[in-house]
Amino acid sequence: MKNNGTIKIPSPLLSFVPVAVLVGLLAVAIPVFAGETLNGVSQIVLLIASAVCCLIAVFCCGTRWETIETAIANNIAGVSSALLILLLIGALSGSWMVSGVIPALIYYGTKIIHPDFFLVATCIVCALVSVMTGSSWTTVATIGIALFGIGKVQGFDEGWIAGAIISGAYFGDKISPMSDTTVLASSVTGTPMFQHIKYMMTTTIFSMAVTLAIFLVAGFMFETTPLFDITEFTDALSQTYNISLWLLLVPGIMVVLIIKKIPPVITLFLSAMAAGVAAIIFQPELLHQITGSTTKNIASIFKGVMMTFYDSTQIETGNAILNKLTATRGMSGMMNTVWLIICATCFGGAMTASGMLASITSVFIRFVKGTTGLVSSTIAAGLLLNMCVADQYLAIILTGDMLRNVYSQKGYKTCLLSRTIEDGVTVTSPLIPWNVCGMTQSTVLGVSTLTYLPYCFFNLLSPLVSILVAATVKRRTKNEEL
């Protein structure tokens, strides 16, 4: 159809075309490029799918290009803070590694955590940290990296380790009163925050209990083979790094900043700076090694500290496996992810401006029959939005905006919608390779999304439990809580 200035709402079938192009090209690209999909091919696939969406919108539906361009710009602006946080996480992980903070956590952790209880302990520790911080990203980038190193040394498969870390991290991201997704889901649906948190406990506690049971049983069932002798490993760490309990002051500073409710960007920045100071005090020889300078002076130390923030670093420990575990990528290592996020938001902006997202979502609403159908449709719509807009915040907002009136018209309380959004959007975001959360966790841990996806039991169970509760819990009236 020629653009005559009249905007035509795209049909659901037509709206699925860009999504089909995206999924189809990724299905071909992922096995062909394997672990290198983040290096450029995924970005190109997203831009191709965006172009298909724009062509359909402009030439078949009469959407003005300016409208699409504005939506894309707004989407990119909306994730700008996430991009900054992502870069700071790169600086944080690099500085915490070189300063000896993460090696110290690994050193003491291998002495404390028994392999039989490693998976369940990892999940619990990450859950506690994420409840306290309200951030899955911070949890994964700090204690998550340390636990990942411990698990690798003890011989666990990286998919299981990452699954335990992410399951615990998103437990807190979902229910912590300091979590931005918790605040957003409650506010966009008009639900008082603590009522929202209380209402989520029905599905969240059960999902986490089952998750912990799985990790506990798995820990006893696995016959793990350590990569090398634990004593040899800890000796190599202590010989390479100046391991000291004083290094734990750095994560302690971060905890204090979080308790004081300092904004995440400032907290991450100050935590990275504190690690930089710790590196100067405890690891000056490593800073010289990073620069490759033969002259050991203040200039060399300054250069080494700066490189821990922005550049890839490789510490020579005398052990190839330990070298790999302690290698960092800094802020520069996050650039492929930043590039991918920008391309993903282009696709989301085009899909939103063209009306294709609304058209696709309308399909799910047609099948709403009773509480079970409503909850199932909400989760399906939220998951699809997570895939299309590639950002959990946008997916939460769009799901709430599109379904708030449906819940109200059918007499359901807003807390049912807010809980279902968290069950279907917040926890599924790290399971989608091109979603901002999926890309971030994959980049930080160095494990592909599809590798850890089958082991993120909390994230997989939450939407299923939400549907199960809706199907089994009987209510006397629609306005009575489930």
198 CB-near residues (< 8 Å, 6+ apart): none
Give 313's strand partners: 328
Residue 356, SS3 per DSSP: helix
Question: Within its chain, how far is the Cα of 146 from the centroid?
Answer: 17
pLDDT class of 228 with cuts at 50, 70, 90: low
Q: Classify residue 26: in a domain, yes or no.
A: no
Q: Classify residue 349: in a domain, yes or no.
A: no
Q: Which residue has the higher pLDDT, 212 or 155?
A: 212
| pLDDT for 477 beyond 50 | no
pLDDT class of 480 with cuts at 50, 70, 90: very low
Q: Classify residue 176: in a domain, yes or no.
A: yes
Q: Classify residue 1: in a domain, yes or no.
A: no
Report d(CA 77, CA 341) in Å as an integer. Answer: 12
Domains identified in the chain, total number: 1
Instruction: Give the structural domain span for 183.
Output: 78-337+354-482
The upper half-sphere exposure of residue 319, i.e. CA atoms within 13 Å in the direction of its Cβ, equals 18
Q: Which residue has the higher pLDDT, 247 or 344?
A: 247
Q: Residue 170's pLDDT is what?
A: 95
> Residue 261, by phi and psi: left (phi above 0), alpha (psi -120 to 50) or beta?
left
Q: Classify residue 441: in a domain, yes or no.
A: yes
Q: Is the dihedral of CA 362, 363, 369, 370 positive or negative?
A: negative
Q: Classify residue 388: in a domain, yes or no.
A: yes
Average pLDDT, the chain: 84
Q: Is the dihedral of CA 175, 180, 184, 186 positive or negative?
A: positive
Report d(CA 403, CA 361) in Å as an integer. Answer: 9
Report d(CA 346, CA 335) in Å as an integer. Answer: 17
pLDDT class of 225 with cuts at 50, 70, 90: low
pLDDT > 70 in the chain, percent: 93
Across residues 249-271, what is the average pLDDT? Answer: 84
Element of type H or E holding 212:
helix 193-221
Measuring CA to CA, how many Å separate 194 from each of 73, 186, 203, 392, 473? 34, 9, 15, 21, 22
DSSP annotation of 298 reads: H
For 374-423, write each residue's pLDDT tens digit. 898 889 888 888 887 777 877 887 788 678 778 887 888 889 999 999 99
Q: Residue 2's pLDDT is what?
A: 40
Q: Classify residue 115: in a domain, yes or no.
A: yes
Residue 313, SS3 per DSSP: strand
For 172-206, write each residue's pLDDT tens digit. 888 887 677 887 788 778 888 788 888 899 899 99
Q: Classify residue 28: in a domain, yes or no.
A: no
Report d(CA 420, CA 191) in Å as an integer. Answer: 13
Measuring CA to CA, how many Å separate 104 from each of 15, 138, 156? 52, 18, 20
